[in-house]
Every structure is written in C-alpha cells, then in structure tokens.
Amino acid sequence: MCSLEKRGNLFILILTGQNGEHRLNPNLFSSIISALSRAKAESTRGSALVTVSHGKFFCNGFDLDWVNAAGSDEETQQRFNLLLDYLKQLVLAFISLPMPTIAAVNGHAAAGGVVLALCHDYVLMRRHRSVLYMIDLDLGIKIPEPFMALFRAKISGSARRDLLLRGLKIKGEEALKMGIVEAVYDGEEEVTNSGIEMADDLAKRNWHGEFYVEIRKGLYSELCDILGIASKAIATPKL
C-alpha cells in the first residue's frame, strides 16, 4: 500500500510493493490520505515531502479491476464515482499540505497516476522506462473538472493540449521539454535519491508552512476555488 517515513525534516511517502502497479482503489487512497494527514499534523518549519515508489510503475491510475468487479452496471458506475471522489480528496490534501512537495516518478504513470504526480509542487522523472500517459482519451473517459483545473494550473501552452488531447505516452526528455517535469534522471535509485536531495534543499529554506500553503493556494487560485479552499490572507506576517 503506502508507508510514511520521517527522516529529519523530510517526510517520505512510499508507494510500496515491487510487483504492483500501485493502482488507486479505496484502500490505497485512504492510506495515502491518512499519511498526508499525519505529515500535516507533524509538520514544522522547514518540513518537506517527497513521494517515491518502487518497481516498474509510479502509479497506473484507478483500479479498474476493482471497479469492474461490481455486481451491476449501476454499481460499477458508483465504484468509479467513488474513486473520482477519493482522487479529489487526494488533490485537496496535497494542495493543503503546509510544506513543499516533490514526486520522484520512477516508472510509468497513467491517468490518476499522472494526477497524483502533478499534485506535487515539483516532479522529477526517470529518463527511460517511464512514461506519463493520460489514457483517458483512448479509453473514452471524460476528465472531470477539478482535475482539468489541476492541469490548467500546472501545465501551460501546447504542452497541456499534447498531454490531454493527443493520447501521447510522454517519456522523460519530452516531459522535461514540455515543462511538466523539473529534471530527469537515469535509473530508479537516482531519481529517488535526487527527489530526497531536492526535498532536503527546499527544507533548508526553513519556510513557514502556513504561509507556504497560502502562497501555493493563491498561485493555483482557480483550482482552489473549485475545490472550495480559497487562499486567505494571514493577518500577521512574520516580518
């Protein structure tokens, strides 16, 4: 599922299991969201979070096996809607986390997995053996609004169109060129270690989490309005 490790000022969220595609189902969602609550509760000045995973996949999206195992068409739709709800809560939890966040994408990410990566302030990726794929168009699945707002917030220009309207499997170098990721690395170990190193560097800036999160919400104001978490001015700055 997932585990949360604390190393000094760093929170390391690990999607565990070598063989899994880390597909998002109610269990994994709950696990991640509760890990984020813990990180939030234990956050201090200079905290940072990095999300890593093991194996061939970062996260391959919704657990469609679980969705399709439902007894009826109606229940299938309900299960799918439930996952959409969870994904929205996940986005909310990440956007409200009072510390910088980094996703170290070691392997393939598809659909909800791309959303998971983009929830982070910074995305690092593996150069090879890793693609970002918004499979939704190819599967004939619409992308509902809060997630569209996330894409609008985080990705600009033609990159956004290419990610969502071309069914592209975007490799590391391309993702870098498109401005979707910050940097690419060779090998799973390198991307994970670089993620931790970057988190360390950002943690050293010793930012006040409650201000960091409000500045982030102001930066992504359209998304936050849709999620119902508008940014607020903090009356007493720490001058």
Partner 1 sequence: MCTLEKRGNLFILTLTGEDQHRFNPDLISSLLDLLSQVKAQATSGSVLITLAQGKFFSYGFDLDWAQAAGSERGAAKRLQDMADLFKPVIATLLSLPMPTIAAITGHAVAAGFTLALSHDYLIMRKDRGILWMPEVDIAVTLPDYINALFKEKIGDSSVRRDLFLRGLKMKGDEAEKRGVVKAAYDGEAEVREASVCLAENLGKRKWHSEVYAEIRKGLYPQLSAILGLSHKVYAIARL
Binding site for partner 1 (CB under 8 A): 100, 121-122, 153-157, 179, 182, 202, 205, 207-208, 211-212, 214-216, 218-219, 221, 231-239
Pairing of strands 108-110, 57-59: parallel
Tell me the C-alpha distance between 35 and 12, whole Å: 10
User: Residue 139 or 230: which CB sits closer to partner 1?
Assistant: 230
User: Residue 165 or 234: which CB sits closer to partner 1?
Assistant: 234
- Least Å from the CB of residue 188 to partner 1: 24
Beta carbons within 8 Å of 108's beta carbon, 6+ residues apart: 56, 57, 58, 60, 130, 131, 133
What three-state secondary structure class fits 190? helix
Tell me the C-alpha distance between 147 and 158, whole Å: 18
User: Residue 86 or 220: which CB sits closer to partner 1?
Assistant: 220
User: Residue 31 or 47: which CB sits closer to partner 1?
Assistant: 47
Tell me the C-alpha distance between 92 and 216, whole Å: 12
- Least Å from the CB of residue 214 to partner 1: 5
User: Residue 21 or 121: which CB sits closer to partner 1?
Assistant: 121
- Least Å from the CB of residue 173 to partner 1: 16
CB 174 within 8 A of CB 126: no
**190 backbone dihedrals φ, ψ, rounded to 5°:** -65, -40
